[in-house]
Amino acid sequence: MSVEQRFSREPRGTPQIRVNHRIRVPEVRVVADDGSNLGVLPTNEALRRAQERGLDLVEVNPKASPPVCKILDFGKYKYEEKKKQRDAKRKQTVVEVKEIKIRPKTDDHDIDVKVRAIRKFIEQGNKVKVTCRFRGREIMHPQRAEMQLVLIVSKVEDMVNVEQRPTMEARTMAVLLAPKPQVLQRLANERAAREREQAKQGHGAHSTQGRDHGHDHEHEDHDDVDVDDDDDDDEGED
């Protein structure tokens, strides 16, 4: 199986990268493996030059006229691209919506417990949906529930923006809270600091152990804390 067959099998919807004999246009603009511009060449000539160097001819800009190709090691190129994608995915901030449940009769002590849980979720960069569920005739008097939600918001207003004010959803009143920009910026700074430290440690490991460059030594980020608020949900509820 050729290198282009091994590495061109992308998931559906992913643009196919044409390599070597899969490049069927008559001529291409060629960039050498040292970065020099070889100009426009017949495709068969460009392919011959790549093969002479034991490398591949890879189409990197099919929309150009003529298409732009690079002479490079396609296996190494795919490895580097996948590593970049993993790094980018790891750096993405994934915002989850956590739910905190209260009842119209939840007492002040349990409200404080809920507030601590909200603050923990917000500090992790998550949004929080606070819901107050009504039972029976409780729905006839929603004012206490609204007062509780307003009280909760007042206790966390230093770190949240109200993304959705208290609204009724069937037999539930809910408010949606989101971290303020300064909270997200602090998380981004902490993440960057961890990555710098990991890079420093990884460099030291390479220096002392002399491992192969083909291996992936990146450290996975296990600093996320999975906080389960199920115990809190039962406190103070009828």
pTM beyond 0.75: no
Residues 6+ apart with CB under 8 A from 173: 131, 132, 134, 142, 145, 146, 149, 166, 167
Joined together, the tokens standing for residue 182 give 């300064």
Q: pLDDT digits over 206-233, tens only? A: 555 545 544 444 443 434 433 344 444 4
What are the structural domains of the chain?
16-72 (3.10.20.80), 97-182+226-234 (3.30.110.10)
* 144 — pLDDT class (breaks 50, 70, 90): confident
Q: Containing H/E element for 184? A: helix 181-209
pLDDT, one tens digit per residue, over 42-95 is 999 999 999 999 999 999 999 999 999 999 999 998 888 888 888 777 666 667
How high is the pLDDT of residue 220? 39
Nearest Cα residue to 223 out of 193, 179, 184: 193
Position 153 confidence tier, pLDDT thresholds 50, 70, 90? very high
